[in-house]
Amino acid sequence: MSEGPLAPVWDVPPEESAARASAARRAAHVWRRASVSQRVAALRGVWEAVRAKREEGLAVVREETGKSRDEAEILEFGPASLLVRYFLANASRILDERPAWTPWFFLNKRAAVRRLPRGVIGVITPWNLPFLIPFGDSFCAMLAGNAVLLKPSEWTTRTALWLEKTVAATGLLPEGLLSVVPGRGGAGEGVVDASDLVLFTGSLATGRRVAQRAASQLKPAILELGGKHPMIVLADAPLERAAAAAVWGACANAGQLCVGVERVYVESSVHDAFVAKVRARLAALRTDGPNADIGRFIFPPQLDRVQKQLDDARSKGAEVIGGEVLDRAGLRMAPALVLGARMEMSVMTEETFGPVVPVMRVGRAEEAVALANSGPHGLGASVWSADLEKAERLSTLLEAGIVGINEPATHYALGSLPFGGVKSSGLGRRHGDEGLLALTQAQAVLEHEWPADAPDPWWFPYEARKTALLRRLLGLR
Ligand code: ADP
């Protein structure tokens, strides 16, 4: 395993990108004819192949990201497996044509809603989960009957190419149904132009550009743009679980998770006990070796970004425990606990995306809720309390697309839950019925059954007698 990052994969020649876009378009025309059950059968086989070859995939993921084998398997392939199981079992319920209501005097007609594929879905993904996000989005897009043009991060393109190769080798899908377009931002723009809907995960600035480009072509974009997960720990919280969750939630994937814990508000009476537990757990984390709990940063500038936040916190009076740079070239740092954090510090307001647990003491739960809601983000949030009713009540006040009650952030793995943010954290949802349906277009069907050759009474000619009858039927009097 290489110590530091591999060189990024840059753009392929424009002709090659265009050829991949055409292959996806051709495959979309073939695939849209497959029934939902045919798609389920083919994609089940595809997953079996990916799962069977996952050691190979794990090696590529690890080479590109420096994660431990355990972390790569649990965070990347584990949730993928659950998503596959959920969506294969529920595809037919969600996607099959379903009857729709008609008024009683349409008793000779049938109404239904069909779900047509959109065509080509552009999947544009970041570097933090190079298998899970591209796979999860592509799998759902293909299940909904679409082809996929996948533009992975330039820092984790090898994983996407491995996925493309492994899927293609099954021979179960039309050629080019999952086509990868490597490259930088310009390749992403090409993907927006060549697709019918964009599924984007990345930064707010890029997401905004993607949304604008898509909107100018009247294409929808579903955006997931990161978060600043506030964890609210109440005085009666189960402290052992809460402390363990703060550490895992903030440091899993070396803190590079958009739903990860990014700030903790703790009620004053349990602050010190909570901090002691968090500190002990952070101290126990392994930071080197193949089984390290804390891997390296994946994107090189990230190390300095996180260090800058820690410097800012120190300069404003916080106590930072840990957080040392362990290996600059290898992009590794020790996890950090920030005590005495305040909202003036960037570590409490800007996405950190590193193994940092900033803790702020608060007087009351309501104060924590107000602080949690005070910024532009709204992806993950959680409330910790032994009083589930109170925690549930507070959680309804959180401006977040995903909330946990004594739970940090495992929502993405559950296909039954819609995943996405509010405010600047995103637009639209992945997963859940609505997430899968968003990858389709509704086609409304109205079919006249009998008498086969008779016109309807509301057609020409208009007559007073017919109008009087229709007035009754239509509930106008
Ligand atoms: P991150 O730093 O989390 O990867 P970015 O928002 O920079 O977040 O990138 C997310 C994805 O968007 C990457 O695959 C990147 O190459 C791609 N990208 C960057 N610029 C553009 C753009 N203008 N249009 C489309 N995709 C882009």
Cβ of residue 125 lying under 6 Å from some atom of ligand 1: yes
- Ligand 1, residue 207: give the atom nearest the CA: 6
If one residue of 17, 157, 191, 206 were mutated to test the ligand 1 pocket, choosing by the most ligand atoms within 8 A of its CB, it would be 206
Active site residue 224: yes
Say what angle helices 132-143 and 157-170 make with each other, to 10 degrees: 40
Q: How many other CB atoms are found less than 10 A from the CB of residue 355?
A: 29
pLDDT confidence tier of residue 363, bands split at 50, 70 and 90: very high
**273 shares a domain with 160:** no
CA of 192 to the centre of ligand 1 (A): 12
Token pair 């901090």 in the structure block, residue: 275
395: left (phi over 0), alpha (psi -120 to 50) or beta: alpha
Please check the confidence at residue 372 and state whether its pLDDT lies above 80: yes
* β-bridge pairing 325-327 and 229-233: unpaired
**210 shares a domain with 238:** no
Distance CA 362, CA 271 (A): 9
- Ligand 1, residue 154: give the atom nearest the CA: 16
Nearest CA to ligand 1 atom 25: 188
Average of pLDDT values for 283-304? 96
Three-state secondary structure readout of 282-339? HHCCCCCCCCCCCCCCCCCHHHHHHHHHHHHHHHCCCEEEECCEEECCCCEECCEEEE
**407 shares a domain with 260:** yes
Active site residue 16: no
**153 shares a domain with 284:** no
Say what angle helices 185-194 and 14-31 make with each other, to 10 degrees: 30
CA of 211 to the centre of ligand 1 (A): 12
**240 shares a domain with 194:** no
Distance CA 16, CA 14 (A): 5
**246 shares a domain with 137:** no
**168 shares a domain with 25:** yes
**309 shares a domain with 160:** no
- Ligand 1, residue 126: give the atom nearest the CA: 4
pTM: 0.97
Cβ of residue 195 lying under 6 Å from some atom of ligand 1: no
Residue 113 in tokens: 């809603």
What total number of domains does the chain contain? 2
Residues in the chain: 477
pLDDT confidence tier of residue 388, bands split at 50, 70 and 90: very high
Distance CA 133, CA 76 (A): 8
Cβ of residue 124 lying under 6 Å from some atom of ligand 1: yes
Cβ of residue 202 lying under 6 Å from some atom of ligand 1: yes
CA of 378 to the centre of ligand 1 (A): 20
Q: How many other CB atoms are found less than 10 A from the CB of residue 28?
A: 25
Average of pLDDT values for 437-460? 97
Cβ of residue 426 lying under 6 Å from some atom of ligand 1: no
Residue where a domain stops, chosen among 224, 255, 284: 224
The string of pLDDT tens digits covering residues 28-45 is 999 999 999 999 999 999
SS3 113: strand
Cβ of residue 210 lying under 6 Å from some atom of ligand 1: yes
Average of pLDDT values for 141-168? 98
Residue where a domain stops, chosen among 372, 389, 411: 411
Average of pLDDT values for 13-24? 96
Three-state secondary structure readout of 196-219? CEEEEECCHHHHHHHHHHHHHCCC
Residue where a domain stops, chosen among 224, 259, 275: 224
Distance CA 188, CA 259 (A): 24
Q: What is the pLDDT of residue 11?
A: 84
Q: Is residue 309 situated within a structural domain?
A: yes
- Ligand 1, residue 299: give the atom nearest the CA: 2
**360 shares a domain with 342:** yes
- Ligand 1, residue 213: give the atom nearest the CA: 24
pLDDT confidence tier of residue 10, bands split at 50, 70 and 90: confident
Distance CA 452, CA 459 (A): 15
Transcribe 134-173 into DSSP letters: HHHHHHHHHHTT-EEEEE--TTSHHHHHHHHHHHHHH--S
Residue 218 in tokens: 């009247």
Please check the confidence at residue 320 and state whether its pLDDT lies above 80: yes
Q: Which domain holds residue 124?
A: 14-224
In the chain, the amino acid numbered 204 is: L
Catalytically annotated residue among 224, 262, 350, 399 = 224
The string of pLDDT tens digits covering residues 222-263 is 999 999 999 999 999 999 999 999 999 999 999 999 999 999
* Average pLDDT of the chain to the nearest whole number: 97
Average of pLDDT values for 22-26? 98
**261 shares a domain with 190:** no
Cβ of residue 206 lying under 6 Å from some atom of ligand 1: yes
Distance CA 219, CA 140 (A): 18
Nearest CA to ligand 1 atom 27: 185
The string of pLDDT tens digits covering residues 126-145 is 999 999 999 999 999 999 99
